[in-house]
Chains A and B, each alone.
Chain A
Amino acid sequence: MSEQYTLRVNGADRPVQDAWVGESLLYVLRERLGLLAAKGACEQGECGSCSVLVDGEVVCSCLVLAASAVGQEITTVEGLAEPGAPTDVQQAYVDAGAVQCGFCTPGLIMATHALLERTAAPSELEIREALSGNVCRCTGYGRIIEAVQQVAARRGEAGR
């Protein structure tokens, strides 16, 4: 348990000390850096609850060794907005009823932001495809699709 390295998380350098080299990025974010938004639910990259951005790409942080992410830009939900000042995506999830237990929500928020960066006005099928790596057990996904569509529509109106 003697690894020392520095991660770049949400725009800040975060030193990691006395770590075990086998620790996943998810574990280090949560247990060493106190960034609890990313959740662990399958440890196999199947459910998307631990989604974060690494150099702009959505990845499952449970599948990334923390020590291998040195030198990359890591963004977590904590890096999207200050508490109480939600992004449009976060607000839409609440307004549309897309949150029940909420365990999958931070991962879905990351995946939704990434989708809407790539595709400003996704079709319903594009939304389903883009978010199919994020399992939600409570909602049946209907309100989540609604939330994404609300954001896309509002951004479209604002952009006109």
Chain B
Amino acid sequence: MTDVTVRPVVDGRLGTSALRPDGLAKTQGTFAFSGDLSADGMLWGATLRSPHPFARIRSIDLSGAWQIAGVAAVVTADDVPGKPTYGLISADQPVFARDVVRYAGEPVAAVAGDHPETCRRALAAIRVDYEVLTPLVDPELAIAGAEPIHPDGNILRHQRIVRGDQDLVGEVVVEGTYEIGMQDQAFLGLEAALAIPDPGGAGVELFVATQWLHEDLGQIAACLDLPADRVRLTLGGVGGAFGAREDISLQVHTCLLALRTGRPVRIAYSREESFYGHVHRHPARIWMRHHATRDGRLQRVEARFVLDGGAYASTSSAVLVNAITHAQGPYVCDSATVEGFATRTNNLPCGAMRGFGVVQACFAHEGQMDRLAEACGLDPVEIRLRNAMRTGDRLITGQVIADVAPVAECIRATAALPLPDEPVGGRDGDPLRLPGGAGLTADVGHIRRGIGWGVSIKNLMYSEGFDDFSTARCRLADGSVTLKFATAEVGQGFVTLAPQIARTVLGVERAVCEPIDTTIGSAGSTSASRQTWMSGGAVLGACRAVAEQVVAHAAQSWGVSTAEVELVDGVLTSPDGRQATVGELSAGRVFEATFEHHHPPTEDLDEDGQGNCHTAFAFVAHRAVVDVDVELGLVKVVQIATAQDVGRALNPLSVRGQIEGGIAQGVGLAVMEEIVQTDGRVRNASFTDYLLPTMLDMPEVVAELIEIPEPRSPLGAKGVGEPPCISSTPAVLAAIRDATGKDLRRVPVRPFDIAL
């Protein structure tokens, strides 16, 4: 301890745009993604999938596969030692199909071999005798009582919301039916995992790209019939997630093959297989009728939601509740009559994708707000301002919005952002700026420009009574902090944020993250815009506990009470002016604390859909400018302007990255992204046929952050990941309607929707 204080200067605190600690490794190719991992003596695994959307399995003949040189294992449902099924909310999905396959692409068997080509040949040599059945692909037939395709029935969830005046008829009534196509998360880093068996098959270690290590662990251990402590998971580098890694895919298969062969096994999906291997955004059909006064004040929403969950439950029940509880949008509305169904069909299973049900609801309610504006003779901005929700208003579930709710601020700030200063086609007339790009378009004179709006509310974190928590440990030694958590880093940047928290609380410079694995308690899922709040809260709590220990240590040394010692910017000061830095006090000493952050409890909905089911909310506004070639039906999104309620921008560069990236996915859903299925068969399971926005498709983004710290959030920040992709989609569609005058009610909009 010294009397002379050198004030530590610490960069990279909260509020600064600290850089990613893994950034350089990622640019240099030395960052290990899960598909980059290998081990000595490793075998390759591969999965046989059903070609039929619905069929009975009469028999499986594996003998051909065993005759291929280099094959080490062939497994089917008969080889699953534990629970035969898994699932996030209800375990209704088989590890391998046994008697029935319920979607085209469902796993039937898996092999391990010495080369990917060996595995491919082995899969081709397996003979499965199918009795092909007529698939159930229409969700309305599932609702109407079609023969159950699963013992749990064809309705994954039915929930209604009834609130207020059920007979109210507004002076102005508008109605419409809206359709949302099935979107793929399309992360670039394909599913991949490496399993290493313990000697004698007593346990297994899995390196895997996932969103929630502990949830995976529980499901894997149950299916393998292993005690939970015999299954260890480490996060393999994750190449994007967006919801697609919340469910199990190859985890059990990889572990099972490793245990069978006694050798390390890697499974790595191809792009085509990835389309079958993970759940997607629910396609939806939503009818809405809005009642309002003549001056455009929303009074009642009637709605019917049908979300197709496909063959297995995944998170469909939670996605449905998210969708219907957001039916009113970010607008005051006293009465509601809403009915929602999540159905089981023989289509691809659906579950989590960024926005989680609210994307679908928002596309419908924003279409309705534009209709209402037109019917009332109001501007799209004015109708939204007139109905904008504020703190203290109620949702149609009866829940009071306790959060900061700057809806009007988001709208006004967005409206104040500059419109594009370039005319249609730009000043240089380069055809690349036109809809369809070079070579396809008509001349500039045929192109019409349009402007449209979308505004949204999104719940943050988990709902309906789930005890949502995250765990973190902070260890301070010799002036350096190491942080430990199981929070899946999927690209969002928690590994940047966590050290920022430690530097801010403890005033130290060196703060690093330990490997992300299951040797500490759960962090919950990297989803639902929750990790900054939840794992951020856990890291904050752990760092504060360590700070208290350091303060206590200083107080003891100085012979004063802890209350008398101040810790500011890494410097401790006693009442009589003695000072020491955190670095000095921790020289040769270790301070350590673990903290669990829980958010306040939520409730289930009752049968009328009433209850405080959500935890917190964030808001955002989007304005889109599009150019449309009305003859060819081609769209160029020119600009998206947005103002987003972020609470507090803990890392402005990361926030901007989330906003731009989310908007890209919203634009993609609006104009190009859809998994097309015919009779339960996917027609475009490739990046050649499933279109993603490229750099030429992506518009300019003009963004403003609305920073009003959220008192209920540990760090004042709201989750920022999901809102950008929610109302950007309806904004683009509104802009296309504005340009074309067409009544478009479906995304993605297709050229023939516009041109014909």
Contact = CB atoms under 8 A, between A and B. Distances in A.
6 contacts: A22-B117, A97-B653, A106-B26, A134-B694, A142-B698, A143-B660
B27 A103 contact: no
A34 B24 CA distance: 19
Interface residues of A, number: 62
A104 interface: yes
Given A20-B117, A86-B27, A90-B24, A141 B686 contact: no
B454 interface: no
Contacts of A84: 24
Contacts of B701: 140, 142
A39 B17 contact: no
Nearest to B724: A140
Interface in B638-666: 653-654, 656-657, 659-665
A27 B659 CA distance: 35
Contacts of A135: 188, 687, 692, 694
Interface residues of B, number: 64
A128 B432 contact: yes
Contacts of B189: 39, 41, 101, 103
Contacts of B19: 94-95, 97
Contact of A41 (B23, B190, B490): B190
B356 to A, nearest CB: 17
A65 interface: no
Contacts of A109: 27
B688 interface: yes
B660 A140 contact: yes
Interface of B: 17, 19-20, 22-33, 35-36, 38, 115-117, 185-190, 237-242, 270-271, 426, 428, 430, 432-433, 490-493, 653-654, 656-657, 659-665, 686-688, 692, 694-696, 698, 701
Interface of A: 1, 20, 22, 27, 30-31, 35-44, 46-47, 49, 76-78, 80-81, 83-84, 86, 89-91, 93-95, 97, 99-106, 109, 125, 127-129, 131-145
Interface residue SS majority, chain B: loop
Contacts of A102: 22-23, 26-27, 31, 237, 239, 491
Nearest to A93: B27
B28 A139 contact: no
Contacts of B187: 101, 103, 137
B23 A99 contact: yes
B18 to A, nearest CB: 11
Nearest to A130: B695
Given A86-B24, A101-B189, A43 B270 contact: yes
Contact of A137 (B17, B188, B270, B654): B188
B491 A101 contact: yes
Contacts of B190: 40-41
A139 to B, nearest CB: 5
Nearest to A80: B28
A109 B491 CA distance: 17
A53 to B, nearest CB: 14
A41 B653 CA distance: 26
A137 B668 CA distance: 10
A142 B660 contact: yes
Contacts of A144: 695
B527 to A, nearest CB: 15
Nearest to B660: A140
A103 B143 CA distance: 41
A49 B188 CA distance: 8
Given A43-B270, A100-B493, A102-B239, A137 B36 contact: no
B240 A137 contact: yes
A103 B430 contact: no
Contacts of B17: 97
Nearest to A96: B653
A32 to B, nearest CB: 11
B698 A94 contact: no
Nearest to B433: A125
Contact of A97 (B36, B239, B654): B654
B687 A100 contact: no
Nearest to B652: A97
A42 B429 CA distance: 33
Nearest to B651: A97
A128 B187 CA distance: 21
B664 A140 contact: yes
A132 B186 contact: no
B687 A138 contact: no
Contact of A140 (B240, B428, B662): B662
Contacts of A137: 185-188, 240, 242, 661, 664-665, 692
Nearest to B239: A103
A138 B23 contact: no
A153 B257 CA distance: 52
A132 B695 contact: yes
B542 to A, nearest CB: 25
A31 B657 CA distance: 32
Contacts of B687: 41-42, 44, 46-47, 135
A138 B654 CA distance: 11
A94 B23 contact: yes
Contacts of B239: 39, 41, 101-103
Given A46-B687, A101-B187, A138 B696 contact: no
A101 B692 contact: no
Nearest to B664: A140
A143 B686 CA distance: 27
A41 B188 contact: yes
A42 B694 CA distance: 14
A14 B329 CA distance: 60
Contact of A128 (B20, B35, B241, B695): B695
A89 B490 CA distance: 23
Contacts of B25: 83
A38 B33 CA distance: 11
A20 B663 CA distance: 43
Tell me which of A30, A99, A104 has the highest count of chain B C-beta atoms within 10 A of its own C-beta: A99
Nearest to B23: A94
Contacts of B433: 125
Given A90-B27, A97-B653, A102-B23, 13 more contacts: A37-B29, A41-B271, A77-B28, A100-B661, A101-B189, A101-B491, A102-B31, A103-B240, A134-B695, A137-B187, A137-B661, A139-B661, A145-B695
B653 to A, nearest CB: 4
Given A41-B188, A129-B696, A141 B432 contact: no
B657 A143 contact: yes
A125 B430 CA distance: 9
A27 to B, nearest CB: 8
A41 B241 CA distance: 14
A141 to B, nearest CB: 5
Nearest to B696: A132
A150 to B, nearest CB: 13
Nearest to B667: A140
A137 B665 CA distance: 8
